[in-house]
Chains A and B, each alone.
Chain A
């Protein structure tokens, strides 16, 4: 069965973007081989059905707090780096059909959100081809129920 991989890259060659600064994910589809599928832009707006999802993230659970968390420009960031759960939730919803996400760095909060959706997180610095090769090898083994044991 095919699956998709989301990658944060500025040049299409290296995994060189942090999750927070990624404006556009490269989506690869893996059937037998990994093929480039499309670019997916991250828009600054929340899809409607994610509102309840964000409520759980706010530490106080307070109604006002929830709204301030998701209002533009609030929180700790400038919209590029860590800017509270809002950014993460938007981005996760954009790539929620992917099996894993690959970025240079992925913050703790975002990792937790991915965990909830059972999307694997790989924060690595390497070329896209290396990442794809290793990840497809790994998922291939898992899907075929094969061992990872390497003979030395």
Chain B
């Protein structure tokens, strides 16, 4: 029987147009039906340079299914190069051209000598979701745009995290990771957001190592870069939120990069002192509200389910009920991610399930005894079910409907404090 996808939490691989959108002055050229892009773009911010409404698209129809759409693709690329001033053109294919067998790669290869780089990522929806599509775009950049560099820049670190726009906090998160890494005396290099763009893409092969902060998204990319550029990588599966995880993160990155231990500890101490100063000031708030939420559940992609579970258990001392990962994590990564959930402080272990069926998840939440009101952090879909249980709800993962995020972040020491603020804002407002 076909797998059920109730309450969709991700998009098709063509959603990777948002990954392209996150690269400044990069332009997706869509080889897809009219409407694909319209459905995939949301009001979660444009690139700051292009609006999704101007993305060139072949708008293929029945005629192109019968006679092939390569001619249209060719003229669309040709004219996009003429009329739109971008630094990087990324051709993305939807389902239809791939099903009928258009050789889009061949068309794109005709533009090898174009003034601006034109690359191609196959992102047909049947190949996977936009997490997978994101990897395809990064792969395309590595394979088709970059080449091995003899020059290595001392201390340069490429930072990779989860999917832009899918993760509403992507910009703030990346900036905070950059900040943490640079405090260790390293030079961070990211390609997404303001003033990063093509210059930073070119620097990728010169990095000393790749730092991947994600449970599974991007692992294929950093492995590819290891093979192609000889760049080693550090895979840190947990997005560091709060003091416990961030200090661990800094120690591990410092060790991998060969940063002096005293230097790392100095950075950690400075941050932890302030962090625990804030925590102590509000100790009474925590004590009072501890009574409200004994147990919590996170319903999000692997990144947030893992990192928030660790944060709430390790930093706030809450007890995890069952956790849900809803990003359709490929089976090969699942066991490793499950192991991470057993790796909590105080000998606490969390049960986790990989599920895309929102109905089943909600049934489990309803039927679980939270020993009081539940605390649920998840997508907007969880709002109603949590309210029915008189629980506290915070919308932290896709789809986000009751929050506007410009460059807010949950990463690091500051991010931990932000998340505590948000959770307790919800908790205290129930008495108003």
- Chain B associates with chain A: yes
Name A residues whose Cβ lies closer than 8 Å to a Cβ of B. Answer: 120-124, 126, 131, 134-135, 137-138, 147-150, 152
B66 A134 Cβ-Cβ under 8 A:
yes
Complex: A138 Cα to B96 Cα, angstroms: 13
Which residues of the other chain, A, contact B62 by a CB distance below 8 angstroms?
120, 122
Q: Which residue of chain A has the shortest Cβ distance to B126 in the bound complex?
A: A149
Selected from B66, B99, B100, the residue in CB contact (under 8 A) with A122 is B66
Given A138, A147, A150, A152, which contacts B66 in the complex, CB threshold below 8 Å? A138
The answer to whether B63 and A124 touch across the interface, beta carbons within 8 angstroms, is: yes
In angstroms, Cα B69 to Cα A134, docked, is 13
Using an 8 Å CB-CB cutoff, how does the interface string of B58-76 with A read, 1 for contact, 0 for none?
A: 0000110111000000000
Say yes or no for B372: interface residue by CB 8 A criterion. no
CB nearest to A121 among chain B residues: B63
A149 touches B67 (CB 8 A): no
B330 is an interface residue with CB less than 8 A from chain A: no
Contacts of B63 in A (CB 8 A): 121-124
**A124 CA to B62 CA, complexed, in Å:** 12
**Contact string against A for B residues 388-420, beta-carbon threshold 8 Å, 1 for contact and 0 otherwise:** 000000000000000000000000000000000
| Complex CA distance for A135 and B67, rounded to whole angstroms | 8
Q: Is the Cβ of B101 less than 8 Å from the Cβ of A152?
A: yes
Residues of B within 8 A of A124 (CB): 63, 67
What sequence of 0s and 1s flags, for each residue 95-117 of chain B, a beta carbon within 8 Å of any chain A beta carbon?
Answer: 00001110000000000000000
Rounded to whole angstroms, the CA-CA distance of A41 and B341 in the bound complex is 75
Residue positions of B touching A, CB distance < 8 A: 62-63, 65-67, 99-101
Whether the Cβ atoms of B67 and A148 lie closer than 8 Å is no
Q: Identify 14 new A-B residue pairs, CB closer than 8 A, beyond the known A122-B67, A135-B66, A148-B100.
A: A120-B62, A122-B63, A122-B66, A123-B63, A124-B63, A124-B67, A126-B67, A134-B67, A137-B66, A148-B101, A150-B99, A150-B100, A150-B101, A152-B101
Contact of B99 among A126, A131, A135, A148 (CB under 8 A): A148
B109 → chain A closest CB, angstroms: 15
- B240 smallest CB distance to A (angstroms): 42
Contact B65 A149 (CB under 8 A): no
A135 to B64, CA, bound (A): 11
B-side contacts of A149, CB under 8 Å:
99
* Residues of chain B contacted by A148 (CB below 8 angstroms): 65, 99-101
CB distance from A150 to the nearest CB of B (A): 4
- Complex Cα spacing A13 to B415, Å: 70
Q: How far is the CB of B120 from chain A (nearest CB, A)?
A: 14
In the bound assembly, the distance between CA atoms of A148 and B67 in angstroms comes to 13
Q: Which residue of A lies closest to B66 (CB)?
A: A138
Task: With CB as the reference atom, state the residue of chain B lying closest to A147.
Answer: B99
- How distant is the Cα of A124 from the Cα of B66 in the complex, in angstroms? 10
The 27 listed contacts between A and B (C-beta, < 8 Å) are A120-B62, A121-B63, A122-B62, A122-B63, A122-B66, A122-B67, A123-B63, A124-B63, A124-B67, A126-B67, A131-B67, A134-B66, A134-B67, A135-B66, A137-B66, A138-B65, A138-B66, A147-B99, A148-B65, A148-B99, A148-B100, A148-B101, A149-B99, A150-B99, A150-B100, A150-B101, A152-B101
Residue of B nearest to A124 (CB): B67
For B65, B66, B99, B100, the residue with the greatest tally of chain A CB atoms inside 10 Å of its CB is B66
Bound-state Cα–Cα, A150 to B62, Å: 17
Rounded to whole Å, the gap between the CB of B367 and the closest CB of chain A is 40
Rounded to whole angstroms, the CA-CA distance of A126 and B99 in the bound complex is 23
A135 closest partner in B (C-beta): B66
Q: A21 to chain B: closest CB distance in Å?
A: 20
CA distance A134 to B101 in the complex (A): 13
Task: Give the chain B neighbours of A138 by CB distance below 8 A.
Answer: 65-66
CB A104 to nearest CB in B, in angstroms, measures 13
Across the interface, which residues of A come within 8 angstroms of B66, CB to CB?
122, 134-135, 137-138
Q: Which 10 pairs across A and B sit closest by C-beta, in order of nearness?
A: A150-B101, A138-B66, A122-B63, A148-B99, A149-B99, A134-B66, A148-B100, A124-B67, A120-B62, A134-B67
Q: From residue B254, how far is it (CB to closest CB) to chain A in Å?
A: 46
What is the CA–CA distance of A123 and B62 in the complex, to the nearest angstrom?
A: 11
Write out the residue numbers on chain A whose beta carbons fall within 8 Å of the beta carbon of B65: 138, 148
Contacts of A120 in B (CB 8 A): 62
List the A residue with the shortest CB-CB distance to B105. Answer: A152
A138-B428 Cα distance, complex, nearest whole Å? 62
